């Protein structure tokens, strides 16, 4: 049975709120591809025209949306499908935190949630 989670502007936990970085969608996409290679995740697809992508582990599928709010400010949101019954959200949270940590090393974090963007 699959469980669905998503990030957005109104999350109850920081991990599930949109993160904004000082970058553009193409650079963020390239950083995510590097992350996938380093962590043995599958890159399913990236679409530069729509600023979307999809990556996966054996039990989690992450559909990614890049929200460009200016030429150097880009938000990232995830629609997540997890094939877990117990502890599914915890495993998703750990993966998202690893992704955010990696992106923060590559690009400057501007804020979590649009009202907190510098």
CATH code, domain with 16: 3.30.530.20
The 10s digit of each residue's pLDDT in 30-62 is 999 999 999 999 999 999 999 999 999 988 999
Overall domain count for the chain: 1
Say if 90 falls within a structural domain. yes
Which residue range forms the structural domain that includes residue 82? Answer: 3-110
Burial level of 63, CB count in 10 A (0-12/13-18/19+)?
Answer: middle
pLDDT category at 78 given cuts 50, 70, 90 is: very high
How far CA 24 is from CA of 31, 54, 63, 97, 112, in Å, comes to: 11, 18, 18, 20, 16
For 90-113, give the DSSP string: HHHHHHHHHHHHHHHHHSEEEEES
Mean predicted confidence (pLDDT) in 15-25: 95
Which residue from 80, 91, 77 is spatially nearest to 7, judged by alpha carbons?
77
In 11-72, at which residue ranges do the beta strands (DSSP E only) sit?
19-22, 42-47, 52-56, 60-70
- For the entire predicted model, the pTM comes to 0.90
Say if 7 falls within a structural domain. yes
Say if 11 falls within a structural domain. yes
CB-CB contact of 65 with 27 (8 Å): no
pLDDT of residue 117: 79
Judge whether residue 89 has pLDDT over 80.
Answer: no
Say if 117 falls within a structural domain. no
């Amino acid at each position: 049975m699959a469980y669905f989670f998503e990030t957005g502007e109104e999350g109850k936990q920081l991990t599930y709120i949109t993160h904004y970085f000082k970058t553009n969608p193409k650079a963020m996409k390239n950083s995510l591809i590097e992350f996938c290679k380093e962590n043995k995740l599958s890159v399913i697809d990236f679409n530069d025209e729509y600023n979307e992508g999809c990556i996966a582990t054996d039990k989690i599928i992450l559909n990614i949306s890049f929200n460009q709010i200016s030429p150097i400010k880009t938000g990232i949101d995830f629609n997540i499908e997890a094939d877990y019954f117990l502890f599914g959200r915890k495993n998703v949270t750990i993966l998202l935190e690893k992704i955010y940590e990696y992106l923060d090393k590559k690009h400057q974090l501007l804020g979590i949630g649009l009202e907190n963007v510098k």
